[in-house]
Chains A and B, each alone.
Chain A
């Protein structure tokens, strides 16, 4: 019951936050020099002031700032995020078409990073002198030191150029024919390298976190109680200790989610993954304000939704966490 209240409160805050983000983004983009008229004029190889004014009037850019903001915000309430000058498509349609690819990349890499990171952390904590411990320390060093784009390029050189195992980029091979299952396998095949790239930083983060958290929990009195009850060692680790150690990992995963999305932008660019990241790059270069705003809106929405999800999972894992 109080769980539902927590969720309702979180959603309320989320909506407020989303509005604030929109206003802030809109303001920032309006004060930035250059607009779509400059971009179109640039493409045409120059245009006179009259034509530029005409373009601005067509897109409402000649109106005062607050009028523009008001128009935009009232559009948002009807889920109309405007029209892309550059792609000649409604923004919502454009963004929703790209969103699944990004979500696939983001969620798969997070699941891999959390699952594998936790497993490595548990194994390292169980045996402080073992090889896994060294692996975790090395991963941490590598993950924090190596920028994602560099990891991505390195993987392309290794597994596309030297050993041609994986495709160089994209999400699908149009020549592949077959049913849903074959197509899904094809997407998975394309997903592997970008997924590994994006999960590498977070794998480092979560494995170190899980190790530290497990080390602490394994010294706890209730772990000794479990052993004294005759609980098998595997169950001591993965049931009694891990359920207590997961809290910090889940919390950090929630906090990191925004940074995962920005990491995805870079990874998508390296692997020409057809998600929001590549769309963002194109629309920024084209000064396509409605599209940029739309991308920011939807990514904020995803981040906020994920944070609510994190809260729910945390509460399910740890009964001590109260509504608030």
Chain B
């Protein structure tokens, strides 16, 4: 741990949603940090709060019904939670860029892609329309779109899914942000395009030195790209550490389950692989999480304490953090 603040630090963020079924704690004391030039991976099943973590960093949690109840998010030491709207707006798109999950619907259908990239340059750098459009074309080249001048004048519906996601990346990177949040940038794309997008992100990152938060279901991508990883479950971070330690010795049963889902990471027998998938109910409803560990109902190694008290995120064996009573007990033993 260095004495200086990390580039971006998220500390004990709590996000609550008012739903018809009652209050849902969508993020429960989530803490993350990412350094300049580093890639942080966030993994977890659908609905565990990955996108909401990203939105809370962007200051875009839909309010109402959602609300950042407590916690702190600092960019270079500057607090973002509770910052006034105008100042936050100037940071969005300039210092923090975001690529969204849905490339098909995330671009505005009635503006050309060139305009959409140029807009943030005009907004944040006071560039002339001409200069902004030149930058847009340069960005289209940077994300390896052929015939960039021509494509700049295309509307989103004239481009393929992979092209649109490249355009999204160009928008997010147009102002050379210090942090890029990529929320499942490849989910909707076929596998060859997925690989291309990941390569592209890695290249851009080493060129620009941007810190990337990479949200994905894909443990393989994490293994390949990320430096550190945070595993989320039901709105909490359950395991966190460098990719090597977490992937080679996962402490939390949930992480272990996720890793066994990826054949080439751990060639376990298929029986064990399907175990996690077999448990009915999947992620519990966030409106009525009990007192205990949210994963306990699906866990294969519970002790009494798991049902009554939420485990804290504490260092285990090799200095990475785990929120599991069993793993922590094992470490003390």
- Contact between chains at A220 and B105 (CB < 8 Å): yes
Q: Are B108 and A222 in contact (CB under 8 A)?
A: yes
**Counting CB contacts under 8 A, is B98 at the interface?**
yes
A27 within 8 A of B: no
CB of A231 closer than 8 Å to a CB of B: yes
Interface size of B as a range:
20 to 34
Interface string of B11-48 (1 = CB under 8 A from A): 00000000000000000000000000000000000000
Q: B155-173 vs A: 1/0 string, CB under 8 Å?
A: 1010000000000100110
Residue among B58, B91, B93, B102 facing the most chain A CB atoms (10 A cut-off): B93
* Pairwise interchain contact A320-B155, C-beta atoms closer than 8 A: yes
- Do the beta carbons of B100 and A227 come within 8 Å of each other? no
| B124–A230 touching, CB < 8 Å | yes
Smallest beta-carbon distance B227→chain A, Å: 24
**Bound form: Cα–Cα A222–B124 in Å:** 19
A71 interface hit (Cβ, 8 Å): no
Contact A230 B108 (CB under 8 A): no
Interface centre among B60, B85, B110, B119 (most CB of A within 10 A): B110
B106 contacts the other chain (CB 8 A): yes
Provide the residues of chain B in CB contact with A318, threshold 8 Å: 109-110
Please tell me the number of chain A residues within 8 Å of chain B, measured between CB atoms. 20
Q: For the complex, would chain B's binding face be called helix, strand, loop or mixed by DSSP majority?
A: mixed
With A221-B102, A320-B157 known as contacts, the answer to whether A229 contacts B107 (CB < 8 A) is: no
Most buried by B among A225, A228, A240, A244: A228
Q: Does A5 contact B (CB under 8 A)?
A: no
Q: Report Cα–Cα, A116/B108, bound state, in Å.
A: 25
Contact B100 A221 (CB under 8 A): yes
Which residues of B137-156 are within 8 A (CB) of A? 155
Let me know if B236 is at the binding interface, CB within 8 A: no
Contact B123 A225 (CB under 8 A): no
Instruction: Check: A226 CB closer than 8 A to any chain B CB.
Output: yes
Q: Counting CB contacts under 8 A, is B89 at the interface?
A: yes
Residues of B within 8 A of A230 (CB): 89-94, 120, 123-124
Which of B92, B124, B155, B157 touches A228 (beta carbons < 8 Å)?
B92
Q: Do B60 and A227 have beta carbons less than 8 Å apart?
A: yes
Q: Nearest Cβ distance between residue B157 and chain A, in whole angstroms?
A: 5
Q: Judging by beta carbons under 8 Å apart, are A319 and B92 in contact?
A: no
Closest to A246 in B: B110
Contact B108 A244, beta carbon cutoff 8 Å: yes
Residues of B within 8 A of A232 (CB): 89, 123
Chain B residues within 8 Å of A, Cβ to Cβ: 58, 60, 85, 89-94, 97-98, 100, 102, 105-111, 119-120, 123-124, 155, 157, 168, 171-172
* A interface, CB within 8 angstroms of B: 220-222, 224-233, 240, 243-244, 317-320
**A-B complex: 4 closest residue pairs judged by Cβ atoms:** A230-B93, A229-B93, A230-B92, A222-B108
